[in-house]
A and B are shown apart, each in its own frame.
Chain A
Amino acid sequence: MFKWFINHEWKRATRSNVWHKKVATNILMGFLIFMMMLYLLALGLFVDVIIRGLYPDQDPVGILNGFLVYYFLIDLIARFYLQQVSAFTIESYLHLPVKRSTITHYVVLRTITSIFNYLPLFVFIPFAVKVIAPDYSVADAWLWLLTLIFLVFTNNFIISYLKRQLGSNPKVVGLFAIFLAIFIFLDYFDVISLSSFSTFAFGLIFTHQITVIIPVVAIIGVYILNYNFLRNRLYSEEINIRKHKKIDSIGNIRYLRSIGLTGELIALEMKLMWRNKRPRTIIYMLPLFVLYGFFFYPQEIYQETFGFLIFVGVFMTGGMMLNYANYAFGWESSYFDTILTNNISIDRYLKVKFLNSIIISAICYILTIPYLFFGWEILLINTVTFLYNIGLLVFVLLYMATYNKKRMDLSKGSVFNYQGIGASNWLAMIPAFLLPVIVYLPFSFAGYKIAGLMAIGVLGLIGLIFYKSLLKIVKNQFLKRRYIMAEGFRER
């Protein structure tokens, strides 16, 4: 039976309307994955050399074991955002003489094909062969490797369980995240040491071989968890329709009501963002955008060169807006005809898009204010990049968004979902990130760093002052492209 399932899935993928459009992206992704494999393989082959260089007197196996717990934590977080738990249409099989358990096992097992399960092997296998086998024994190397492989797949099943829960019971995911966060915080403030725990725990493999049973139990446990979860949800009506679920009152804000049609349109998009899977995944990415600065601000070298921090600022205050405005019209592809035929003037419609972009960018900006902790320059950088985003970048993005004519399926969401993304969207990103730095550099070379930052802000303010004329340009573009967009959006 599995053979048929796989056969049907392959046909469904290759015969889909977007398959030929996706070929180019697939080739690119394949190439990236291949490069990644090479890097990881190199890392696996030389990681012992690196460790010996950094910690000359210690056992490299112990050191690497100390990092493993962090690896598995990062793996979990990365998978949460990147790994897809794509839907398998079970409806077509439920009425056939196929055991429900067979279908369920298939749905659970198909997640193991994810590339995330195989990339780490490129590091683990060379290390086991090159370091553990000679230093310890071949048997130890096998045990160590098997333990890690079991844990990798445990992570795989944890994530597929959490992502499925996200749909029906997001609290479980929240609790799990809080649980992880507590550990990370305790470790960060040296209350506990995850790294010494990790060295100890993975060291047990060599002293007490029986401990290999723990990951085996773990993997069976999470497998059963997944299986039971899905087995109880095999009725298609329960999958598709969430009955008796209280409809959220999002967008029912009195202020929005009071400002008439503009408020109504803003409320509509708030509902769009919250009630559909794909835009919701982008909302979940908000912490990633806002926390981005943490990677750079603590490091001295970035503090001196503002050039890079400007880039960070544009990204943090504008990344979410970029995600929104790039598809400003694509988001509404499923009901674009309503927008065009109803009593909504294009001027007002575009103004709403502009306002929404500002709101989104402003939220990100407010969230980055605490970075003031790293110095007032950081706040200044983020303020001027915010002004640039809402005064200039937004118009470029809205203009470019009219070139996006692919229908977007809002119910399918993931970070690496390129459906509905055309080359135009990538094109829009280049000036987005480069222009502020280009404006800043001449001032910086002349020694006026602060003036350079101010120049970026002034540029944004000028854009805000002349927003009506800039929106007019977008409007003319929109009018030119409206038939092409509407036609593209209608194509399923």
Chain B
Amino acid sequence: MEGKNNEIMIEVKDLSKAYDGVTVLNIPGLKIPKGESFGLVGNNGAGKTTFFRLMLDLIRANSGTVMTKGKNVSKDENWKFHTASYLDDGFLIDFLTPEEFFRFTANVRSLTEGDLSEFYILFKDFFNDEILEKGKLIRDLSRGNQKKVGIAATLMSDPEIIIMDEPFNSLDPTTQIRLKIILNDWRKDKNTTMLISSHDLNHVSEVCDRIVILDKGNIVKDIHSSNNTLKELEDYFYTQIYAQS
């Protein structure tokens, strides 16, 4: 799907974030075109979540800007209207039932009752009869099921940009495969810009057109997907281990 159009969706310029004088993220420049599915890979502490939080204006950058659709996210609230995200369980309202949470999300994103019922039909298999009509609050669900709720709510409104941190983590195998199918369908049909981080090299290479490796806050590799992507990723991390020893 690359090259369908070259409109830039997200542009990062001179972005840096430091805690107590230690730089945890430093990205001189990065452009993500519309419709790209962008994978972020890196070890713990590489700055993946920090990067996503900066994109969502949840933390203040020490320098630089994140622009989505040409607008600075920290100055203008408009990005909220076309971005949906799920980073961690802080994005769930745990004293609601899943139905109440979906209704809340639908209302916040100005969806109609019809859109909501369509969503339930679309995600019926994904929920696998474990989420809806259980009479449980989200906080009483298992971790995996909580995650399903968060991911489904993110995908609910057909957003232009999706940002998800470790979406495959703690999902059961069936749901992991279902999520991959959904994401790949969207890549083909909807031209959605997707930003996904993962520790699982298999998963990212299956759903992403482009994969960036972060190490200690710096971009060390920027790979455009090919048949060799997985090999290339694995090689990078193998060399890391040998380089240390």
Q: Among residues 93 to 131 in chain A, which have CB atoms less than 8 Å away from a CB atom of chain B? A: none
Contact check, B108 vs A483: say whether CB atoms are below 8 A apart: no
Contacts of A268 in B (CB 8 A): 93, 96, 104
* Complex CA distance for A349 and B73, rounded to whole angstroms: 18
Contact check, B81 vs A343: say whether CB atoms are below 8 A apart: yes
Size range of the interface on B?
20 to 34
* Complex CA distance for A335 and B103, rounded to whole angstroms: 16
* Complex CA distance for A268 and B60, rounded to whole angstroms: 28
Q: Among residues 205 to 255 in chain A, which have CB atoms less than 8 Å away from a CB atom of chain B? A: 240-247
* Nearest CB on B from A479, distance (A): 10
Contact check, A345 vs B77: say whether CB atoms are below 8 A apart: yes
- Label chain B's interface by main secondary structure: loop
Q: List 23 A-B contacts (CB under 8 A).
A: A241-B136, A243-B140, A260-B107, A264-B103, A264-B108, A272-B95, A335-B91, A335-B93, A335-B94, A337-B56, A337-B91, A340-B56, A341-B91, A342-B105, A343-B80, A343-B81, A343-B110, A344-B108, A345-B77, A346-B77, A483-B60, A486-B58, A486-B59
Contacts of B60 in A (CB 8 A): 483
| Closest partner residue, chain A, to B57 (CB atom) | A340
Does any Cβ of A come within 8 Å of B97's Cβ?
yes
* Nearest CB on B from A474, distance (A): 16
Q: Among residues 293 to 350 in chain A, which have CB atoms less than 8 Å away from a CB atom of chain B? A: 334-338, 340-346
Q: Among residues 408 to 440 in chain A, which have CB atoms less than 8 Å away from a CB atom of chain B? A: 410
Does any Cβ of A come within 8 Å of B85's Cβ?
yes
Does any Cβ of A come within 8 Å of B200's Cβ?
no
Does any Cβ of B come within 8 Å of A275's Cβ?
yes
The verdict on A343 contacting B87 (CB below 8 Å), with A276-B95, A335-B93 known, is: no
- Label chain A's interface by main secondary structure: helix
The verdict on A340 contacting B58 (CB below 8 Å), with A275-B137, A490-B90 known, is: yes
List the 10 closest A-B pairs by CB distance, nearest first. Answer: A275-B95, A483-B60, A264-B107, A337-B90, A335-B93, A343-B80, A341-B56, A338-B91, A241-B140, A342-B108
- Map CB proximity to A onto B121-146 as digits: 1 under 8 Å, 0 otherwise: 00000000000000111001000000
Does any Cβ of B come within 8 Å of A261's Cβ?
yes
- Map CB proximity to B onto A469-492 as digits: 1 under 8 Å, 0 otherwise: 000000000000001001101100
Does any Cβ of B come within 8 Å of A271's Cβ?
yes
* Nearest CB on B from A242, distance (A): 8
Q: Which of B85, B93, B108, B135 contacts A247 (CB under 8 A)?
A: B135
Does any Cβ of A come within 8 Å of B109's Cβ?
yes
* Complex CA distance for A340 and B90, rounded to whole angstroms: 11
Contact check, B137 vs A338: say whether CB atoms are below 8 A apart: no
Contact check, B80 vs A342: say whether CB atoms are below 8 A apart: yes
Task: Given contact pairs A337-B56, A340-B58, A483-B59, enumerate 4 new A-B contacts (beta carbons under 8 Å).
Answer: A334-B93, A338-B92, A341-B56, A341-B58
Most buried by A among B77, B91, B95, B105: B95
| Closest partner residue, chain B, to A340 (CB atom) | B58
Contacts of B56 in A (CB 8 A): 337, 340-341
Most buried by B among A260, A264, A489: A264
Contact check, B93 vs A341: say whether CB atoms are below 8 A apart: no
A-B contact count (CB 8 A): 82
Contacts of B135 in A (CB 8 A): 244-247
Q: Among residues 69 to 127 in chain B, which have CB atoms less than 8 Å away from a CB atom of chain A? A: 77, 80-81, 83, 85, 87-88, 90-97, 100, 103-105, 107-110
* Complex CA distance for A241 and B94, rounded to whole angstroms: 13
- Map CB proximity to B onto A22-38 as digits: 1 under 8 Å, 0 otherwise: 00000000000000000
* Nearest CB on A from B228, distance (A): 35
* Nearest CB on A from B245, distance (A): 36
* Nearest CB on A from B187, distance (A): 23
* Complex CA distance for A345 and B81, rounded to whole angstroms: 10
* Complex CA distance for A337 and B84, rounded to whole angstroms: 12
> Interface size of A by Cβ–Cβ distance < 8 Å?
34
Contacts of A336 in B (CB 8 A): 90
* Complex CA distance for A489 and B59, rounded to whole angstroms: 12
Contacts of B107 in A (CB 8 A): 260-261, 264
Contacts of B100 in A (CB 8 A): 271
| Closest partner residue, chain B, to A251 (CB atom) | B100
The verdict on A487 contacting B95 (CB below 8 Å), with A245-B135, A264-B108 known, is: no
* Complex CA distance for A275 and B97, rounded to whole angstroms: 11
Q: Among residues 41 to 73 in chain B, which have CB atoms less than 8 Å away from a CB atom of chain A? A: 56-60
* Complex CA distance for A271 and B136, rounded to whole angstroms: 14
* Complex CA distance for A410 and B90, rounded to whole angstroms: 14
Most buried by A among B93, B135, B140: B93
* Nearest CB on B from A465, distance (A): 27
* Nearest CB on B from A277, distance (A): 10
| Closest partner residue, chain B, to A483 (CB atom) | B60
Contact check, A483 vs B58: say whether CB atoms are below 8 A apart: yes
Contacts of B109 in A (CB 8 A): 342-343
Contacts of B94 in A (CB 8 A): 334-335
| Closest partner residue, chain B, to A332 (CB atom) | B93
* Complex CA distance for A487 and B90, rounded to whole angstroms: 12
Contact check, B137 vs A247: say whether CB atoms are below 8 A apart: yes
Contact check, B108 vs A343: say whether CB atoms are below 8 A apart: yes
Contact check, A344 vs B80: say whether CB atoms are below 8 A apart: yes
Contacts of B92 in A (CB 8 A): 335, 338
- Map CB proximity to A onto B216-240 as digits: 1 under 8 Å, 0 otherwise: 0000000000000000000000000
| Closest partner residue, chain B, to A335 (CB atom) | B93
